[in-house]
């Protein structure tokens, strides 16, 4: 199963040359993950407020393949790769049409308010 999240590159995302600043790809994929979780029916704010569970990025492997530019229409593709008791791994790509600009493998860990790993909620494991 994959999730798609469309976005446009704005001036604030770029450097003086109109090229997306490298750290903004991490913001783009974060938005893609947030929309994926929302689409599967998980209210992250409620999960934190009521259950005290949040998610933290534990590891990220990123490859910057081609630059995105001002006004580009992009798509963040998120795919689930694997899960454990307290972590899951996603593959994410930032695409411009059929062209892959950025790829990442992201490991997320479910944590409690004290920052300790906890079991992933059943709704997400399903």
Catalytic positions are 15
Torsion, Cα 28 98 65 61, to 10 degrees, reads 50
* Segment holding 33, helix H or strand E: helix 24-39
Contact 72, 8 (CB under 8 A): yes
């Amino acid at each position: 199963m994959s999730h798609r999240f469309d976005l446009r590159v704005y001036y604030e995302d770029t450097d003086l040359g109109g090229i997306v600043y490298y750290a903004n790809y991490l913001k783009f994929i974060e938005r893609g993950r947030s929309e994926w979780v929302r689409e599967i029916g998980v209210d992250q704010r409620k999960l934190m407020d009521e259950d005290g569970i949040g998610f933290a990025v534990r590891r990220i492997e990123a490859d910057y393949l081609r630059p995105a530019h001002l006004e580009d229409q992009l798509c963040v593709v998120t795919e689930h790769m694997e899960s454990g008791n307290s972590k899951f791994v996603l593959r994410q790509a930032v695409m411009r049409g059929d062209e892959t600009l950025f790829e990442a493998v992201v490991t997320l860990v479910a944590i409690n308010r004290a920052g300790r790993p906890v079991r992933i909620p059943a709704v997400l494991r399903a």
